[in-house]
Structure 1
């Protein structure tokens, strides 16, 4: 009987311990939460950073991911790719809007499993605009509105508010979004309409809401290399880098030695490729094309003919396209750089001429009579001489001047054999004569 009682006591103690452990783990003990910043503009550099961050969280066995969002929006394509990364994650993700999640930022937040906001935070204003700041075409707007609707449906949110964020034709005056204005929700209004699960003041309160206050916290930081990558892969910065790179190298060709212009040019191009490599857009194939193109152009200096130089230029241009995440934008950026480079080259040639490095690789010497280069024997001593036509001049023929027979050409008129002629002009190898009239 005692053995039976002991057995039941052990079971009871085990259940009690298990219950206690479950309660502790329910409060977050032994769990890991990753905090990932989603800041500044939404672009392809941010996409690369978030992809690395979520992969790291998965490798470390994270139980929950928090996206600390504060962004004015950005590129639609980058936001779409980030949304796919979030949707494919098997780790619960909370979007914690600390200040604003506008435009593409709102779309990213809607793709998370839940949204939590700070008291002064906002979400919305997700209209699509082009690079010139104007409203995008109807096709692009329609696709974006559909994406916003789909994101809202992921967590059973009322799609009318997502549509109103992207479509100014939706009339919601009660939320300060009458027809003609994009909807932007404050934290309080977002909570009212089901676009936020809670309002908290900081990460500590957020963890308490998630029942993870005892969890271990790790914060992802944007590395220095990723900061450079995010900067140089910006659609605004790319054409500037390419222009500085090409202009710097052109100026260096007209400058003695190698100085600041060449350094700026090489640094700009180096930053372009380095940033795109770090962001994951450029592979080693782009570097192979770049190095191969440079080698071909150098070979052209020793094996002139034009073919190697053209192939080298094509290879270098191809390297930029291989490194690009947007072929159309890259084409525009290269066009801008090429136009500016051609204009500068013309200006420098006009006012500076062939100097510096360019002066050493371009042949400037010319053969002239002053330097003793002649393709014929100059007969200046014959000018004014009088002789006799040995043949009919029709208009060319032969004439006798003193003891010398000379090939001559008349002014254009026929001169019969035996007529007296006079040399009136020398044009290179042509000796022009005129008949002396007998009066």
Structure 2
């Protein structure tokens, strides 16, 4: 026999149905016990309690209030609420029928948000016992008959051996990662450390640590209802940051990346419902977030400061190089096309990589020998060499 001690305000409907399925398929008796005093089996807890072979509550506990709502506890749009309520009520009706419980009282928890105290629950035939503690519960269960796989079974619970099962270290760790705030902090730290590795190539440790944080964030996201639009913004943020540092501009791509990252964080686990739009009946992906606003603000600052410093440093280096170029005449120097020039690309001249543009907009294949004809700021004007042996 398995005794589940319940104290929950509710949870995700999909997870609740999976728990109910496991209870219904169990080959051993399942007892759900709302415990200790002051505990509740609200919303999802009502389904678990009703699905169990035996339902019990401690004094001064309650159950019910199972009307479907958003993850933030807010009302759903009318059409979605009606669909979800009808589906949930149908499940409770079947559970009530299977466990011989009061179907009307169970439906009231859905359509009227009705909640019941332990005394009201036993008066309305929603539970089997009120017990002060687990030993009293086990004593009350002794001799009860339940049905498993259409077979009647009489329970014998005299002098039982009690084994308490708690969450494993792995389960506690996954539960810790399932906090949206923790997950978002891991995303931020991972992104920053990868950023540091990208700028200061060869440090290795930031890159490895960043990758670990990102993997942990991905692991935590598997336990949460993730919004794919939020993921799309996070991917866009990575692409824009790559664009910015592959071809440094005035920082537009970088700050676009930061904006996309923060928007992605807001949408990643948010409530996607715009109630003030006329006729809105389905979820929309643009409002509310599970992530603390101060974490979002702090994350924005953490991203803006190093990005701004890096862009400023790149601009300073570019100005310094421009000044140096004015005093260097590379005309006539030879080199190699490191990318295809069509007509722009990258060349290697005097062991340095340069942006280059071909004369007369001609195309030069990668690894072709080139000759510099002129220097325009940080861009070399080049043409293809006819001599393959000049390098």
TM-score, normalising length: structure 2 = 0.53
- Aligned residue for 1:166? 110
- Aligned residue for 1:57? none
Change (3 A) 1:128 1:252: farther
Q: Pick from 110, 121, 132 the counterpart of residue 201 of structure 1.
A: 132
Change (3 A) 1:97 1:151: same
- Aligned residue for 1:229? 174
CA distance in 2, matches of 1:253, 1:242: 16
Change (3 A) 1:118 1:133: closer
Secondary structure of residue in 2 paired with 1:95 = strand
CA distance in 1, matches of 2:195, 2:296: 11
CA distance in 2, matches of 1:131, 1:220: 28
Q: CA deviation at 1:367?
A: 6.0
Q: Is the 8 A contact 2:42 2:66 kept in 1?
A: yes
Change (3 A) 1:237 1:152: farther
Q: Is the 8 A contact 2:183 2:220 kept in 1?
A: no
CA distance in 2, matches of 1:354, 1:255: 15
> Does residue 96 of structure 1 match 2:33?
yes
TM-score, normalising length: structure 1 = 0.48
Equivalence map 1:336-375=2 (5 Å): 348-353=306-311, 366=321, 370-374=325-329
Q: CA deviation at 1:272?
A: 3.0
- Aligned residue for 1:85? 22
Q: What do residues 217-274 of structure 1 show as CA deviations (whole Å, max 9, x unaligned)? A: 1111111211111221345644443234224433565679969987874553343355
> Does residue 154 of structure 1 match 2:94?
no
> Does residue 68 of structure 1 match 2:23?
no
- Aligned residue for 1:246? 191
- Aligned residue for 2:54? 114
CA distance in 2, matches of 1:247, 1:154: 54
CA distance in 2, matches of 1:260, 1:237: 22
Unaligned runs of 5+ in 2: 143-156, 226-238, 248-267, 273-284, 333-375, 378-391
Change (3 A) 1:349 1:94: closer
> Does residue 184 of structure 1 match 2:115?
yes
Change (3 A) 1:160 1:239: farther
CA distance in 2, matches of 1:117, 1:154: 20
CA distance in 2, matches of 1:132, 1:68: 24
CA distance in 2, matches of 1:152, 1:342: 50
The more displaced of 65-74 and 125-134 is 125-134
RMSD of the alignment, in Å? 4.9
Aligned residues: 259
Change (3 A) 1:129 1:268: farther
CA distance in 1, matches of 2:319, 2:15: 52
Equivalence map 1:255-266=2 (5 Å): 265-266=210-211
Q: Is the 8 A contact 1:367 1:373 kept in 2?
A: no
- Aligned residue for 2:87? 143
Change (3 A) 1:374 1:144: farther
Q: CA deviation at 1:276?
A: 7.0
CA distance in 2, matches of 1:363, 1:223: 55
